Amino acid sequence: MIWLVGCKGLLGREVSDVLERKQLQCIGTDIEVDITDSEVVKKFVARQNSIDWIINCVGYTAVDKAEDEPEAAEKLNVLGPRYLGMAAEEIGARIIHVSTDYVFGSTGDSIDRPLEERDPTAPECVYGRTKLAGEFAIKKATRRAFIIRTAWLYGTWGKNFVFSMLQLFKERSMVKVVRDQIGCPTWSRVMAEFLVEIIERNSDNYGVYHFCGGGQASWYEFSLEIARLAQELGIQKKRVLIEPCTSDEFASRAKRPKWSVLSTVATEAAFGIKTKPWQESLGEFMSMINEQH
């Protein structure tokens, strides 16, 4: 039995769909099971017949808002993972926990290669600090943990960069997009398929891994590809001018890393997979949403 925590979020809904498609037995929960309450977690686990795997897709992901709500971010990003890890250890289950590129902060800005799992972490915003603390909490709670860092997630459900850009393209004739933050756009469906792949392989290669779209892009380059595909597919009728700008031109509460390109070499070796180029995944995603509408 798989316990999918956060089954109604952007990533959780994708994982739920993949599990259903593969006919894997799963129980999904969302806010009705408060993972920040250790007693609630214990009672929930006790009521289940057998949980072999826990997938944690819950997180406080409002990056700027977290600067004003550090306690709320800590509850979801640190306490929740800690209690899930403790539950996994107690019942002998394996746990997959989703983390983020923001754990690196600006330490990666001076590195001219994709960031590896062993590279030093030094997050500079509440979101990044609490996600890193969540990694430590899980590792302390259980030895049977897979911590998967990802980046720049977009998908069918929830607010994300692709939908934001498509909306701006409709509303404006010119859009400014940051060019000095470089990362790895990642389709939530591809991420979900990888998480389930870990379970299907019955893996015990525990540890911290990176998984994201292959290659790299700035937000500006990402937006250009969204615009190109939108025109090609007929999603967007009018042409929009997209101008590059710097992070300094956009005031934000949280400090974001300028270089957070993740290396997936260790992940590919450990699980025998190959990551797709981000452009390929984006093309598939936009073709899909075009067919749906």
Give yes or no for a contact between 78 and 130, defined as CB atoms under 8 angstroms apart: yes
Q: What ranges do the domains of the chain cover?
A: 2-158+187-214+261-276
Give yes or no for a contact between 147 and 187, defined as CB atoms under 8 angstroms apart: no
2-5 vs 94-100, strand pairing mode = unpaired
Is residue 127 part of the annotated active site? The answer reads yes
pTM assigned to the model: 0.96
How large is the average pLDDT for residues 139-143?
97
Choose the catalytic residue: 102, 127, 154, 209. 127
Q: What tens digit of pLDDT does each residue of 168-188 get? A: 999 999 999 999 999 999 999
Which stretch of DSSP H or E encloses residue 153?
strand 153-154
Task: Beginning with the edge strand found earlier in the chain, give each strand of the sheet holding 94-100 in spatial order.
Answer: 26-29, 2-5, 53-56, 94-100, 145-150, 207-210
Q: What tens digit of pLDDT does each residue of 205-222 get? A: 999 999 999 999 999 999
Q: What tens digit of pLDDT does each residue of 24-59 get? A: 999 999 999 999 999 999 999 999 979 999 999 999
Cβ count near 163 (within 10 Å): 16
- Give the confidence band of 236 by pLDDT, cuts at 50, 70, 90: confident
Question: CATH assignment of 2-158+187-214+261-276, given 3.40.50.720, 1.20.140.10, 3.50.50.60, 3.40.50.970?
Answer: 3.40.50.720
Phi then psi dihedrals of residue 287, to 5 deg: -65, -40
Give yes or no for a contact between 15 and 196, defined as CB atoms under 8 angstroms apart: yes
What average pLDDT is seen over the chain? Answer: 95
